[in-house]
Amino acid sequence: MFLGIYVCMTEYKSSLLEIQIFASLPLHQKTRHQTLHNKPLIKKASNSAKSSLFSFFSVSVSVSASLACSVSFTITITMSMSMATSHHTLFLHNPTNLTNTTNHFPITTTRTTTTFKPISIKCTATTRTQAPPQATAQSQDRVFNFAAGPATLPENVLLKAQSELYNWRGSGMSVMEMSHRGKEFLSIIQKAESDLRTLLNIPSEYSVLFLQGGATTQFAAIPLNLCTPQDNVDYVVTGSWGDKAFKEAQKYCKPKVIWSGKSEKYTKIPSFSDLDQSSNARYLHICANETIHGVEFKDYPTPKNGVLVADMSSNFCSKPVDVSRFGLIYAGAQKNVGPSGVTIVIIRKDLIGNAQGLTPVMLDYKIHDENDSLYNTPPCYGIYMCGLVFEDLVEQGGLKEVEKKNKKKAEILYNAIDESKGFFRCPVEKSVRSLMNVPFTLEKAELEAEFIKEAAKEKMVQLKGHRSVGGMRASIYNAMPLAGVEKLVAFMKDFQARHA
Ligand SMILES: Cc1ncc(COP(=O)(O)O)c(C=O)c1O
């Protein structure tokens, strides 16, 4: 009797449990019978065939399983009951590649009427995999990604999405393959909205819309929905994104920049008492966090007459926000809450339904509100990913807890800059420094390229500042682990020691 167990590592395949059984029986041609179920493999075997069954019964079981994206493995159990083991083992290794059986089975050379036909039974079973491992630290093969967006996503969310990619929760489909009107996707979008409402404590008189086109599309949709071409609106411009929003609005209404930080290179937020708001402005627009310049509103101005509208693309869900102070909040998902392709609009319901006549149907909030964001095919997979992120944020204890973590990360990074004796500099006024995007420069500007290159070698990527401002920028969104910021700070100190 021979029993051999071979365990070998195979490369990762998919979340499948695959079982392959090869039964190789030296049977008489006429008596061969096979079945998948526990019925006898031989029904009418001749005596000689029956004895040959016992002479060499060979089973090879190969199990390859991938457990939630970790290591997959193959176990091969080889059993052979025979007098001549070595040749049988050879056969077992390659049962389907047997053309000249007599050469492989010398024991059968005395039975000239018997031919040996391998029977190959392959069973493939798909099973739900275990819950993905919780990510506790950055995996070895991932970088710390400081990109401004699309940006790093929580590792445990990515692993969960991976485990559900092929077969979403037993539905037999990937989320990418689902009808957006089917019960599965409806449950996904409804859960995403419900978790977002929990996170931001969104009052019932607000609608949540999952749209497409990025925040840039909202630069047009907002004036198209909230005012007529003759209406005045106010814009506070604290950076490039506020400026772009203002410029787009010029096509659809009469916007006025009531404050601009351009002359001070967008390093400040105005004092609200300095704002000269128009008495008849339909809305007051701000960019709550300027991604490029790293300036963030810590509080919000109260509009004189109209409503407050905020672009929260780069600090959405990074801290608690009193939604009731706003008429409309909008955000592209790709910084803090998901992949690009999803744009979230939270709008007070009484502001819906007044779109200008020429408003394209896809930009009309009323259409999307009435159809629960399903007027046309929405970005289903992106919404699913946002839903996973929202769920994760709820599990972390909500936005208060998230804000604590974000404050800690930002604090150690800004401290490292401020304590570098001018080697590193952050131009933004301290009281309005962003918790999300930290721009900084080097006193010796000629070293910046080297800094970025060396950091990348240490697996810290995307630290180059926006092309319009240069320098460096570390985006430290919700999903950036504290370990990533600590590593960056350690690297900065080391770099300074070597180059000061
Ligand atoms: C604050 C802010 N607003 C608007 C945008 C434009 O977003 P999108 O590219 O999704 O249109 C960005 C993109 O980075 C941003 O950071």
Q: Which DSSP string corresponds to 284-353?
A: EEEESEETTTTEE-SS-PPPSSSEEEEE-TTTTTSS---GGG-SEEEEETTTTTS-TT-EEEEEEGGGSS
Query: Measured from the CB, is residue 212 less than 6 Å from ligand 1?
Result: no
**CA distance linking residue 334 with residue 126, whole number of Å:** 33
Handedness of CA 324, 328, 332, 338 (dihedral sign): positive
**Cis amide prior to 150 (ω within 30 degrees):** yes
Q: Characterise 397 by phi-psi region: left (phi > 0), alpha (psi -120 to 50), beta (else).
A: left
Q: What are the CA-CA distances from residue 500 to residues 438, 442, 445 (Å)?
A: 21, 10, 12
Integer Rg of the chain from CA: 32
Residue among 287, 314, 329, 337 whose CB has most ligand 1 atoms within 8 A, to mutate: 314
Q: Closest Cα partner for 469 from 246, 314, 267?
A: 267
Q: How far is the CA of 78 from the centre of ligand 1 (A)?
A: 59
Closest-lying ligand 1 atom to the alpha carbon of residue 312:
1
Match 């031919």 to its residue by tokens.
115
Q: How far is the CA of 241 from the centre of ligand 1 (A)?
A: 7
Query: Measured from the CB, is residue 379 less than 6 Å from ligand 1?
Result: no
Q: How far is the CA of 243 from the centre of ligand 1 (A)?
A: 12
Handedness of CA 169, 174, 176, 177 (dihedral sign): negative
Q: Closest Cα partner for 102 from 92, 89, 115?
A: 115
What type of residue sits at position 28? H
Closest-lying ligand 1 atom to the alpha carbon of residue 292:
16
Query: Measured from the CB, is residue 321 less than 6 Å from ligand 1?
Result: no
Closest-lying ligand 1 atom to the alpha carbon of residue 217:
11
CA dihedral angle for residue 107, residue 111, residue 117, residue 119, rounded to 10 degrees: -70
Tens digits of pLDDT across the chain (500 residues): 333 333 333 333 333 333 333 333 333 333 333 333 333 333 333 444 443 433 333 333 333 333 333 333 333 333 333 333 333 333 333 333 333 333 333 333 333 334 444 444 443 434 444 455 555 555 778 999 999 999 999 999 999 999 999 999 999 999 999 999 999 999 999 999 999 999 999 999 999 999 999 999 999 999 999 999 999 999 999 999 999 999 999 999 999 999 999 999 999 999 999 899 999 999 999 999 999 999 999 999 999 988 999 999 999 999 999 999 999 999 999 999 999 999 999 999 999 999 999 999 999 999 999 999 999 999 999 999 999 999 999 999 999 999 999 999 999 999 999 999 999 999 999 999 999 999 999 999 999 999 999 999 999 999 999 988 889 999 999 999 999 999 999 999 999 999 98
**CA distance linking residue 265 with residue 258, whole number of Å:** 17
**CA distance linking residue 138 with residue 321, whole number of Å:** 29
Q: What is the DSSP letter of 258?
A: E
SS3 187: helix
